[in-house]
Structure 1
Amino acid sequence: MNLAEAIIIKNVEKHPVKSAIGFKKKDDGWKELSWKKFSEIIFKTANALKNAGVEENDKVAIYADNSGEWMIFDLAIMSIGAITVPIYSTNNAEQAEYIINDSQSKIILVGNQMQYDASLEILQKGSSLQNIIISKKAVWIKKEFNSFYLEDFIAKSSPKFEICKKEYDDVATLIYTSGTTGTPKGVMLTHGNFIKAFDAHFEYFKFKNFEEELSLAFLPLTHVFERSWSLLCLYGGARVYFLENPKDISSALEEVKPTMMCAVPRFFQKVYAGVLDKAEEGSSLKKKIFDWALKVGSEAGELRSLEKQIPFGLKIKKSVAEALVFSKVKEKMGGRLWFLPCGGASVSPEVTKLFEAMGIHITVGYGLTETTATLTAFPLKHFEHGTCGRPLPGVEIRIGENDEIQARGNGITKGYYNKPEDTKAVFTEDGWFKTGDAGKFDEKGNLIITDRIKDLMKTSNGKYIAPQQIENLLTNNNFIQQIVLIAEGKQFVSALIVPNFEFLKDHLAKNNIPFTNWEEIVQKKEVIDFYKEKVNEFQVHLSDFEKVKKFTLMPAEFEINTGEITPTLKIKRNVVLKKYADIIEKMY
């Protein structure tokens, strides 16, 4: 079955006037489209694409920030049996050109001036690109170079369309890996990968009244996590609101009031650190109230997880804790969130426990682009903090050589587009996908990630260091924005630390330290001493060989445009280590 058909037809028939998607108009607040209207625009776009010469199995790219148009274009592409090729909105012209050329994309949807200019340059070079569609009329275009505003492109198209029939094994999308270790590869995901993965989620979680849920999409739709989650929500009949600028997340949460939302660990770490800092800054009475509320919420959360009766007295205490502490935090997130899938990296048990105490379930999961996102996840009950949960229905996992996690099942990719050797390299001879991650199972069948096998470090003393766990621990406070551990072949662990400049600036003001510029500030003894305290405070429970003994404070964040981090904000460790080799050497 075609994924677009599985999403659109069922929901239009079931509830045509119910809202499907929401989006923000600049000066006019949030707007919604009903399922009927949503489907009509998708079908008008599908007809326009066909009229422009797009045929079954052709590639069509999307190079834009999150928007209603992004999802409309994606479903329209799949409706005609073509293949969607997402490009990160932050990618530069060279990166976009590589993906367009590798995939041989015929048409591209862009969202802003930078994306249009880059696409125009690629089109003028005589690539496979034939037309550029622009979602916003604010973008200045050159119509003589096959450039059309989306509104004009679909204006004369019919809203009636027959969705192209597809088999489960037919490719629906090529998602290019963000490439922390090399050239991006186009991961082929099929219609069946998505549909079977979605069905597995619904079987696993057994949601009640899912059609009443509202999800806010703020992570990039280009990434498999947000794309899969948003499509899953639409597949199940829930509403999805699309946030164009992720920096507006705070205000969007209060405006939209979502009930569900997928996020990465850094989002939860910021909330966690903010809550703890607020408690620390308060009076001793307020601190005692917070500690009491956290204890009460944790007791209630644990009983709820174990499906045990919460005693009447504890219910009363929980209500008081809710009124005095938790409600204020939850209101900042819209007040209705209860289900938060989390992926992309590990998240500390301290963080998940705090949210569970507040009655918000972080569903920690594990998966890759090549596995259509989720392989394992926390169930709603009987989960273990500090793990990645248990395999979803239809997923098998085994631990292979070097403790590598290997998987097979519904969501596993067909391979990498036009790269048979790379495809062969990631599968075992008996057909298991090699994730490249190290892990183990606990006695209850929960998966625990050790680290990326390629990232594991061995000190000169022969001790193995798993950097992600330590980096994750140290970014659980508001004063550290980014961190890169160094240990391979060294006698001890060191780190490059990027401060959270916003919080550091407040700290400077409170301690009468005059601000000059960040290059000077990060070298001041009192600032370095302050960070030593923070680092030591958060690594107190680590083994001595795992502790960061020396660090250098960086005067600026690692950036996407400098190639130091991927569009999904993962640090390219090899790039950073090479670029700052001189600074690192000075620590030894």
Structure 2
Amino acid sequence: MSDTQTLIENRPPSVASLFLERVAKTPNAEAYRYPVPPASGQGPDDWKSLSWGQAAERVYAIAAGLIHLGVQPQERVALASATRVEWILCDLGVMCAGAATTTVYPQTNAEESAYILADSDSRVLIAEDATQLAKAREKGADLPHLSHVVVIDPTGVEPDEADPEGWVLSLADLEKRGHEYLEKHPEAVRERVAAIRPDQLATLIYTSGTTGRPKGVRLPHDNWSYMAKAIAATGLVTEDDVQYLWLPLAHVFGKVLTSGQIEVGHVTAVDGRVDKIIENLPVVQPTYMAAVPRIFEKVYNGVAAKARAGGGAKYKIFKWAAEVAREYARASQDNFRRTGTASVPFGLKAKHKIADALVYSKLRDAFGGRLRAAVSGSAALAPEIGYFFSGAGIHILEGYGLTESSAASFVNPGEAYRTGTVGKPLPGTEVRIADDGEILLRGPGIMEGYHGLPEKTAEVLEPDGWLHTGDIGELSVDGYLRITDRKKDLIKTSGGKYIAPAEVEGQFKAVCPYVSNILVHGADRNFCTALIALDEPAILGWAEEHGLGGKSYAEVVATPQVQQLIQGYVDRLNEGLQRWQTIKKFRLLPRDLDIEHGELTPSLKLKRPVVEREYKHLIEEMYAGARED
């Protein structure tokens, strides 16, 4: 048995156990950094730190406070908050109390929040602020089992006569009660942790389904313990790393990063404010971070727009440097695959050196100057964008997983990463491709099932443990996986041709620097069309330069000039496609797609049925009376 197998197979029963081990091993080492905005509201944030020992003191107090409130092992405690250090401390507190965390996105409306709280039978809600508390108050009559609401930031919280006595308390109050409880029962938390079984429920994550009610994915403690050990076994992160964590922790991708950090013991800087990413990167100076493709697309579009605004010469240099980056990345990755060294021809190396001084070094500085690697997941990254960043020295390691597989089933292996693939399976995870191309997974990261939905569980989980992912993919001879599309998203035209819309959409994102979101349509039609939303800052910058300044986004995208601009990019896209894949017609949307309107999931995935339903009139308009063969 290899050292890796031994490490994984001899894993402890829970991340709560791993946390206690980490605290005992490095109590004084830095664990978390978090921002404290200035009292005046002006100027930069002041970043504070927590050591593992300091974090443990708060975690034990939260756990003991929950025990004092009567929370029993495996009972659910809901957590509705944006990403912040308290989210992690509360989640660990819940697990150390032997209970299970129900994650709720802060953007979730009152009705769906109430559904999740009721369906999960959550006994306590930890709410971020007055806004999250208001949702619980609005639906309180529908939540008879909700015994308490704990508010992380009580600013602006006013007493309400309708609240049952003692129903609302602050996180500080909970921790105070926990400290008092521990004075009388000093071993209470350790006893709860020691009693946790590997198959005991740790986390209940509700998937944001495109239709119908969300399903609760049951992830036991063993899933997270395995993930922690498997991430450490990849060697991708070390105890010297600094991670910048901004992803939503209610999402499985964000959550898994907290497990890996506890096992490895590195520093994590936590701040979920997406509008602060650009400002935070030079301050945090991360060595690695995880993100979704939309972030890399926005950075790429922003750099391209800035170069364009600098005049014709600057934009020409940027376009040249972008092509050099892609050529360099392809050559170095191909050589590494063949020979084990990332060497490139001398002429290309010389061009790359010049481009690095002119363009790439500035891009790396914008990421803080120390970024060794970035992990991308949740959706496919357009390979052309991946190659650009790779050649610029920002190594994006694509990974793959589902909520149902605890997020991290595949990841690219460090130096040997291959753009356009999601890498190899984590140690201990099995994969096979079904006859119809569907990816099947089996291993210690697979869910127990859907909460209270045995029929739905049976649809995706075989009795022998194989999970049907719903994704289509291909495995290389040496084990690298490439995702080609969602099984249910494959388009079959009326001519009988199959098209993977995500592939076409990804190619367009690489060609057009103004695109934000694109949806390719064509099922049961005789040609393909597209709904396109543009990146507002990028297209308004273009508009300013072309005599359209002062107009709103909706006015700009309706102009003939912008229609003509995007038509040019569609024509470029079509040049590289098979005839039946080409986009014959498109419509520009009057606004970008977003989470608030339900068109994107909180992890920024496109909800195709929602978008197609909302813009049905535009789709029908493109096909009305038309025949394109």
TM-score bracket for the superposition, by shorter chain length: over 0.9
Question: Does the 8 Å CA contact 2:443/2:465 hold for their aligned counterparts?
Answer: no
CA shift in 2, pair 1:294/1:464, >3 Å = closer
Cα shift readout 1:186-231 (whole Å, capped 9, x = no counterpart): 101111111112222222x2247x1111111111000000110122
Cα shift readout 1:56-102 (whole Å, capped 9, x = no counterpart): 11100000101111111100000011000000111000110010000
Q: Does 1:230 align with 2:251?
A: no
Question: Does the 8 Å CA contact 1:279/1:290 hold for their aligned counterparts?
Answer: no
Aligned to 1:9: 20
Q: Percent identity?
A: 34
| Residue 325 (structure 1) shift | 2.8
Aligned to 1:262: 290
Deviates more, 1:13-22 or 1:153-162: 153-162
Aligned to 2:269: 241
| Residue 294 (structure 1) shift | 6.0
| Residue 339 (structure 1) shift | 1.9
Aligned to 1:460: 494
Aligned to 1:152: 173
SS at match of 1:350: helix
Q: 2 CA distance for matches of 1:329 and 1:16? A: 36
Aligned to 1:496: 531
| Residue 336 (structure 1) shift | 1.1
Question: Does the 8 Å CA contact 2:227/2:256 hold for their aligned counterparts?
Answer: no
Aligned to 1:505: 540
Aligned to 1:386: 420
SS at match of 2:243: strand
Q: 2 CA distance for matches of 1:339 and 1:531? A: 33
CA shift in 2, pair 1:322/1:119, >3 Å = same
SS at match of 1:431: coil
- Counting only pairs closer than 5 Å after superposition, residues 44-193 of structure 1 correspond to structure 2 as 44-142=61-159, 145=163, 146-158=167-179, 160=186, 161-162=189-190, 163-164=192-193, 165-193=195-223
- Counting only pairs closer than 5 Å after superposition, residues 287-298 of structure 1 correspond to structure 2 as 288=320, 291-292=323-324, 295=327
Question: Does the 8 Å CA contact 1:515/1:521 hold for their aligned counterparts?
Answer: no
Aligned to 1:358: 392
SS at match of 1:373: coil
Query: What letter matches 1:153 in structure 2?
Result: L
Aligned to 2:8: none
Query: 465, 473, 476: which one pairs with 2:507?
Result: 473
| Residue 320 (structure 1) shift | 5.6
Q: 2 CA distance for matches of 1:288 and 1:232? A: 39
Question: Does the 8 Å CA contact 1:301/1:356 hold for their aligned counterparts?
Answer: no
Query: What letter matches 2:584 in structure 1?
Result: K
CA shift in 2, pair 1:364/1:508, >3 Å = same
Q: 1 CA distance for matches of 2:356 and 2:595? A: 40
Query: 608, 612, 623: which one pairs with 1:573?
Result: 608
Question: Does the 8 Å CA contact 2:382/2:509 hold for their aligned counterparts?
Answer: no
Aligned to 2:433: 399
Deviates more, 1:298-307 or 1:256-265: 298-307
Question: Does the 8 Å CA contact 1:62/1:110 hold for their aligned counterparts?
Answer: yes
Query: What letter matches 2:394 in structure 1?
Result: I
Cα shift readout 1:258-283 (whole Å, capped 9, x = no counterpart): 11111111112222334445556544
Q: 2 CA distance for matches of 1:519 and 1:324? A: 35
Query: What letter matches 1:109 in structure 2?
Result: I
Q: 2 CA distance for matches of 1:382 and 1:24? A: 35
Deviates more, 1:44-53 or 1:520-529: 520-529
Aligned to 1:33: 50
Question: Does the 8 Å CA contact 1:297/1:321 hold for their aligned counterparts?
Answer: no
SS at match of 1:387: coil
CA shift in 2, pair 1:456/1:41, >3 Å = same
Q: 2 CA distance for matches of 1:564 and 1:291? A: 33
Cα shift readout 1:395-440 (whole Å, capped 9, x = no counterpart): 1111124211111111111101111111111123543111111122
CA shift in 2, pair 1:122/1:394, >3 Å = same
SS at match of 1:410: coil
| Residue 457 (structure 1) shift | 0.9
Query: 252, 267, 271: which one pairs with 2:280?
Result: 252
Query: What letter matches 2:172 in structure 1?
Result: E
* TM-score, with length taken from structure 1: 0.94
Q: 2 CA distance for matches of 1:296 and 1:446? A: 21
Q: How many residues align?
A: 586
Q: 1 CA distance for matches of 2:281 and 2:56? A: 26
| Residue 297 (structure 1) shift | 6.3
Aligned to 1:418: 452
| Residue 349 (structure 1) shift | 2.1
CA shift in 2, pair 1:127/1:469, >3 Å = farther
CA shift in 2, pair 1:574/1:481, >3 Å = same
Query: What letter matches 1:206 in structure 2?
Result: G
CA shift in 2, pair 1:528/1:97, >3 Å = same
Q: 1 CA distance for matches of 2:78 and 2:579? A: 49
Aligned to 1:196: 226
Q: Does 1:583 align with 2:618?
A: yes
Cα shift readout 1:170-192 (whole Å, capped 9, x = no counterpart): 11111111112332111011111
Question: Does the 8 Å CA contact 2:36/2:47 hold for their aligned counterparts?
Answer: yes
CA shift in 2, pair 1:562/1:322, >3 Å = closer
Question: Does the 8 Å CA contact 1:61/1:105 hold for their aligned counterparts?
Answer: yes
Structure 1 residue ranges without an equivalent (≥5): none
The CA RMSD over aligned residues, in Å, is: 2.4
| Residue 52 (structure 1) shift | 0.8
* TM-score, with length taken from structure 2: 0.88
SS at match of 2:415: coil
Deviates more, 1:330-339 or 1:565-574: 565-574
Query: What letter matches 2:575 in structure 1?
Result: V
CA shift in 2, pair 1:458/1:310, >3 Å = closer
Aligned to 2:591: 556
Deviates more, 1:446-455 or 1:284-293: 284-293
Q: 2 CA distance for matches of 1:142 and 1:100? A: 22
Query: What letter matches 2:80 in structure 1?
Result: Y
Question: Does the 8 Å CA contact 2:324/2:351 hold for their aligned counterparts?
Answer: no
| Residue 303 (structure 1) shift | 5.0
Question: Does the 8 Å CA contact 2:114/2:143 hold for their aligned counterparts?
Answer: no
Q: 2 CA distance for matches of 1:561 and 1:289? A: 37
Q: Does 1:206 align with 2:223?
A: no
CA shift in 2, pair 1:385/1:46, >3 Å = same
Question: Does the 8 Å CA contact 1:175/1:187 hold for their aligned counterparts?
Answer: yes
SS at match of 2:139: helix
SS at match of 1:587: helix
Q: 2 CA distance for matches of 1:251 and 1:33? A: 22
| Residue 311 (structure 1) shift | 8.5
